[in-house]
Amino acid sequence: MTDITDLTLAELRDALKAKKVSSLEATDAYLANIEKATDLNAFVTVTADKAREMAKASDAKLQKGDGGAIEGVPLGIKDLFCTEGVQTTAGSHILEGFVPTYESTVSANLWRDGAVMLGKLNMDEFAMGSSNETSYFGPVINPWRVKGGNAKLTPGGSSGGSSASVAAHLCAAATATDTGGSIRQPASLTATVGVKPTYGRCSRWGIVAFASSLDQAGPIARDVRDSAIMLRSMAGHDPKDSTSVDRPTPDYEAALGQSVKGLRIGVPKEYRLDGMPAEIEKLWADGIKWMKDAGCEIVDISLPLTKYALPVYYIVAPAEASSNLARYDGVRYGHRAKEFTDVQSMYANSRAEGFGKEVQRRIMIGTYVLSAGYYDAYYLRAQKVRKRIFDEFSDAFGKCDLILTPSAPSAAFALGEKSNDPVQMYLNDVFTVTANLAGLPGASVPAGLDAKGLPLGLQLIAKPFDEETMFKGMFALEQAANFKARPENWWA
Amino acid sequence: MSEPRKLLKGETGDWEVVIGLEVHAQVASKSKLFSGASAEYGAGPNENVSLVDAAMPGMLPVINKFCVEQAVKTGLGLNAKINCWSRFDRKNYFYPDLPQGYQISQYKDPIVGEGEVEVEVDGEEIRVGVERLHLEQDAGKSIHDLSPKESYVDLNRSGVALMEIVSRPDMRSADEAAAYFSKLRTILRYLGTCDGNMEEGSMRADVNVSVRRPGEPLGTRTETKNINSIRYVKQAVEYEARRQIEVLERGGKIDQETRLFNVATGETRTMRSKEDAHDYRYFPDPDLLPLELDPDWVESIKAGLPELPDAKKHRFMRDYGLSLYDAAVLSQDRAKADYFETVAGGRDGKLAANWVTTELFGALNKSGKEIAESPISAAQLGKLIDLIADDTISGRIAKDVFAIMFETGGDPERIVEERGLKQVTDTGAIEAAIDAIIAANPDQVAQVKEKPKTFGWFVGQVMKSTGGKANPQAVNEILKKKLGVE
C-alpha cells in the first residue's frame, strides 16, 4: 500500500471502515510527517499521546463495525478552537500556557464523529493577519515554493497552519476559521479547498472570538469531497451560541456530482481589479468557461458596493475585536506582567507584553471607531453600508445561484514582503471579505498554477444556507480544473 | 408637575429641588442573565461562577428567558410600554471585577419604555414618570481589605440580572424621593420580580439632584451612587439639596459629577468629576440577537399579573371606605393587604383597618416582627372584632384580649371565657354596682348636675368596680337615668 497520508479523508475513512488500515497506523504516519515538517512551523502543539489514545479508541470501535462518520480520521485543529486539557493560544503570547477546561462545540462535534486530534495549528495572532506572520509562535511556511526557488512563502492567513498542514499532508484535514477570508485565502495560496459556511451554520462557542458578527468556522481540506465531509461533522445548531441557526445539517457529500446544468453563475464585474495579475484574470475566465461547458448559464452581475467592503470590514472587525479582547487583562488567566505598580499599569503592561503589534493596531482602530464623537461617522455608517452590501447580494441572487470570483488577488508571496505595509496586507481579503459582511457561504477551490508554479484558487459564493448548491458548483469546478499538482517535498 | 410643590428656604429666597432616581433592582431569578450559574445570595467566594461569568475565551452569552419575563412583568406593573424589539449593547470599561471588559446592558433600545408610578406623600398622591427600564448584568465584587498588597475579586454577582429603572425628574422633595423608592419596592415585591432586600444589595438607587429658583430651567445635577436604603435616599437628597443651595447662594456653581454617600455622616462627597467620565464605547453586542417578543406572550404575562398596589389601594378606598392613608399603608405589602382583607371580610372595613394598622402593626413594630410572623392570625383578629360587635366584650377589654393573644397566641373566645372577661350585660348587676357607688358618693352626685363633665367619673367608677366588664352602653344609660342627667 502507498503512504496512508496520501489518502484523502474520504479514502481514509473508507479504508478505516473496511479495516484495511487502522486509525493508529494512520495517526502514527501523520505524526511522523509532522515530526519531519518542523520547518513548516504549522503546529503550535502536537498532541501525540492524546492522538494515539484517541486512535486506539477509534480502532476498538471500528473493529466492532461501529464508529462515527469520520471514525479514526486524524485532524489538525486551528489553535483558535478551545480544546479541553490542551493548550489553546490563539497564536498569542497573552494566552500562552492557557489550558481550557472545556471543548469548543465544533471540535467536540468532530470527536463525536470519531475524529482523532493530532494537535493545534499555528495561526495569525487572534486570527488577525493574512500571512501567518503575526503569530507569536512564528510564521508558518508554505509547502509550495516558486519553481526553482527556495524563498520562504506565506501559506496565507490567518489559518496558515491549517492550509500548510493540509497541503503538506500533516493531517487528513483541518479546522479553520474565517472572519474576512482566513479560510479561503490560505486555501487559495496552498492549493487546498477552504469552505466558509453561512454565518450561523457552525457554532462559535469555544472559539476564541475575533469579530463576533463575522467569525465563522469551516474546514480546510485536500479536495471538495473532504471539505463536504468535514463541514457536515462540524456544523449544527448549538443552543450555547445565540447566533447559531437551528436548521438541519444537510449531507453535503450527497450534493457532489449532481448536475449543475442550468445553474446560473453570476460574474461580478467589480471583482476585476486594477493591477490584478493577468494570470488570475485568465484563471477566472477559465473558470467561467468550465462552468459554461458544464451546462451553467453565465450571468453578468454588478456589485457596486464591493469597493466599500474592505473599509467597512476594517471598521466593524476591529471595533468588535477591541471589545472581545478586553477580557485578556491578566486578571484571571493568560499572561500577567511581572512589573506593575497598580491595577492600571498591570493592565497596560500585561496587554502591551501579551499582544503583538497587529493586534494592538486593531484594538486601537476599534477603540477609536467606537469612541464618543466617532461612533456615528465610523461604526454606525459602516453598519449601514454593511446592510446595503447584504441587500446588494440579495438582489444579485435574484439573477444567479452562485457567484464566481478569484479567491485572492495574488498567489503566495514571500514572508516579509507585505508585513510592513498593513494596507497591502489587508488587500489580500478584497475578494473574500464581502461574504463575511453579508454572512454568505463562500469557498475556494484550487484551479491552476501561475507561471511561477504557485497555486491559485477560484471562489464560489452562495445564497445563505445554500451550501449544497455551492458544493455542487465546487465539485464541477474541481472536475473541470483537474488540478493534480503537489508541492515538492523539500521540508522532510 | 410644573407647579412648584415644595420649596426649600435659603438665605436668599426659595429653592425648588428636582430629583430623579435610577434604581437598580436585582431580578428575582434562580440563574443569571446570560449564564446558567446560580444567582443566589450568600454563597462562598466565586462559587457561583460559570465559564461565561468568568469571561473565559470563546464563551458566549445566552439570554435567560425567565429574566426577560420578569422585566416584562415589571414593565407592565409600572404601567409602562413594553418594547417588543429591544437590543443588548456592550458598555466597555476595564475593571478587575468586570471579567469581559464590558457590561452587557441595553443602551439605545430598552425592553421597557415610558411608564408611571403613583406615590403617596403626606396623604397626597403624586405621579412619578418612569423613563425606561432595561436589563443588564451586574459586575463582580472587588475586595481590597483582605491583603495590604493585593485585591481580591469575587465573581458571584458577575452576570446577575439587574433591572435599571430610570425615573423622570418628577420628585420635588426628599420625602417624595424616599416615597417613590419605597413604592417601587412595593410594586416589585408584589410582582415577585425583585425581593427588594436592600441589605443584600437587591435594590440600590443612584440619586440625581439639582436645585433651581422656582420657575427657572433645571439646574446642574449631581448623581449620588449606590444608595441602599429608603432612609439614606432621603438623607442624601436632603444633604445634597442643602449643599447645592449653599454653594449657589455663595455665588459658586454646581459641577456635574458623581458623588458617594457616607452612611456614617449622612454626607455626600465627590467620587469623580465629569471630566473623568468614561467613554463607554457602547455598541450592539454581536454575540446576541435583538430581543424580539411575541405580543401574545406579553399579553399572557399581563393577564397573569396579580392585583397591583395602586389598584388595591383604590379598591380598599372604594369597597371598604378607607382613607388614602390607611389604604396606602395596607396595600404597601401583599401579605399585609391579604391579612387586612381576611380580617375585613364580612365585617366593618374601617374598624378592621383600625385594628390592623393601629393595634396589630403597632405590636408587630414593637416586637420587630413581620406580618408573616404575627402571633395573631387574621381569622383570630376577625373573631376578636366579632366579639366587640356582638357585645361579648367592650372595646377596652378587647385591647387587653389582643395583648394576651399577641403574647401567648390563642383563640379570643377562649381567652375571654377562661379569664372571665365577658361583658356584664345583666342590667341587674350593673344597677347594683351603680347604686352602691351613688350611695357611697353623695357629694359627687350633688355636683353632677352643675358639672356634667363629672359624669365620666361615675362611668369610670362603675367600670372599675366591675373589672371593666360592664357593658359601657348599659352603664351609660342606667347612670343617666339614676343621676337624672341628659
Q: DSSP assignment of A17-63, as one string?
A: HTTSS-HHHHHHHHHHHHHHTGGG--EEEE-HHHHHHHHHHHHHHHH
Confidence (pLDDT) at A148: 92
Return the amino acid letter for B419: R
Out of B55, B279, B281, closest to residue A327 by CB: B55
**What residues 183-222 of chain B have any CB closer than 8 A to a CB of chain A?**
none
- Distances in Å between the Cα of A355 and the Cα atoms of A126, A128, A363 are 9, 11, 10
DSSP lists the bridge partners of residue B199 as none
Is the Cβ of A243 closer than 8 Å to some Cβ of chain B? yes
Residue listed under C-alpha cell 463525536: A112
Confidence (pLDDT) at B126: 94
Compare all CA atoms of chain A with the CA of B149 and give the residue at the minimum distance: A342
Residue listed under C-alpha cell 453563475: A265
pTM for the structure as a whole: 0.90
Neighbour count for residue B442 (Cβ, 10 Å): 9
Sign of CA dihedral A440, A443, A444, A445: negative
Is the Cβ of A86 closer than 8 Å to some Cβ of chain B? no
Q: Is the pLDDT of residue A175 over 80?
A: yes
What homologous superfamily does CATH list for A4-262+402-481?
A: Amidase signature (AS) domain (3.90.1300.10)
Compare all CA atoms of chain A with the CA of B35 and give the residue at the minimum distance: A240
Asked if the peptide bond before residue A419 counts as cis, ω within 30 degrees of 0, the response is no
Which of A145, A116, A168, A126 has its CA nearest to residue A3?
A168
Confidence (pLDDT) at B274: 74
What is the pairing mode between strands B291-292 and B85-86? antiparallel
Q: Which residues contact A77 (CB under 8 A, 6 or more apart)?
A: A83, A107, A117, A119, A120, A121, A174, A175
Query: How wide is the angle at C-alpha A225 spanned by C-alphas A219 and A231, nearest 5°?
Result: 35
Instruction: Give B61's DSSP letter.
Output: -
CA–CA separation, A441 and A198 (whole Å): 4
Confidence (pLDDT) at B341: 96
To the nearest whole Å, the CA of B7 is away from the closest chain A CA by 38
Question: Residues of B with CB below 8 A from A372's CB?
Answer: 279, 281
* Residues B54, A332 contacting (CB under 8 angstroms): yes
To the nearest whole Å, the CA of A25 is away from the closest chain B CA by 33
Give ipTM to 2 decimals.
0.96
The tally of CA atoms less than 13 A away on the side-chain side of residue A318 is: 26
Confidence (pLDDT) at B452: 78
What is the pairing mode between strands A442-449 and A455-462? antiparallel
Residues of chain B with pLDDT under 50: 1-2
Structural fold of domain B427-483 = Arc Repressor Mutant, subunit A (1.10.10)
The 10s digit of each residue's pLDDT in A51-81 is 999 999 999 999 999 999 999 999 999 999 9
Q: Which of A177-181, A463-467, B374-378, B423-427 has the lowest mean pLDDT?
A: B423-427
Question: Residues of B with CB below 8 A from A240's CB?
Answer: 60, 62
Compare all CA atoms of chain A with the CA of B46 and give the residue at the minimum distance: A332
Is the Cβ of B260 closer than 8 Å to some Cβ of chain A? no
Question: Residues of B with CB below 8 A from A370's CB?
Answer: 92, 281-283
* Residues B23, B162 contacting (CB under 8 angstroms): no
CA–CA separation, A175 and A463 (whole Å): 22
Out of B62, B101, B289, closest to residue A326 by CB: B101
Are A323 and B281 in contact (CB < 8 Å)?
A: yes
Mutation to test the B interface, candidates A370, A371, A379, most B Cβ within 10 Å: A370
CA–CA separation, A161 and A166 (whole Å): 8
Q: Whole-number mean pLDDT of chain A? A: 97
Q: Is B225 helix (H, G, I), strand (E, B) or coil?
A: strand
Q: Is the pLDDT of residue A432 over 60?
A: yes
Return the amino acid letter for B191: L
Is the Cβ of A374 closer than 8 Å to some Cβ of chain B? no
Are A95 and B287 in contact (CB < 8 Å)?
A: no
CA–CA separation, A111 and A98 (whole Å): 21
- Catalytic residue list of A: 78, 158, 182
**Element (DSSP H or E) covering residue B141:** strand B141-143
Question: Residues of B with CB below 8 A from A82's CB?
Answer: 56-58
Are B57 and A327 in contact (CB < 8 Å)?
A: yes
Which of A125, A335, A359, A242 has its CA nearest to residue B104?
A242
* Residues A176, A190 contacting (CB under 8 angstroms): no
Q: Is the pLDDT of residue A154 over 70?
A: yes
Confidence (pLDDT) at B1: 44
Out of B58, B96, B283, closest to residue A331 by CB: B96
The 10s digit of each residue's pLDDT in A308-362 is 999 999 999 999 999 999 999 999 999 999 999 999 999 999 999 999 999 999 9
- Distances in Å between the Cα of B403 and the Cα atoms of A331, B342, B360, B387, B417 are 60, 20, 10, 15, 16
Is the Cβ of B345 closer than 8 Å to some Cβ of chain A? no
* Grid cell digits, residue A338: 511581572
Question: Residues of B with CB below 8 A from A329's CB?
Answer: 94, 96, 101
Q: Which of A109-123, A281-295, B222-236, B269-283 has the lowest mean pLDDT?
A: B269-283
* Burial classification of residue A245, based on how many CB atoms lie within 10 Å of its CB (0-12 exposed, 13-18 middle, 19 or more buried): middle
CA–CA separation, A318 and A369 (whole Å): 9
Q: Is B101 helix (H, G, I), strand (E, B) or coil?
A: coil
The 10s digit of each residue's pLDDT in A3-25 is 999 999 999 999 999 999 999 99
Neighbour count for residue A174 (Cβ, 10 Å): 28
The tally of CA atoms less than 13 A away on the side-chain side of residue A272 is: 12
**Which string of b and e fits A436-475 if b means at least 16 CB within 10 Å?**
bbbbbbbbbbbbbbbeebbbbbbbbbbbbbbbbbbbbbbb
CA–CA separation, B397 and B401 (whole Å): 6
Question: Residues of B with CB below 8 A from A347's CB?
Answer: 94
Q: What is the mean pLDDT of residues A301-306?
A: 97
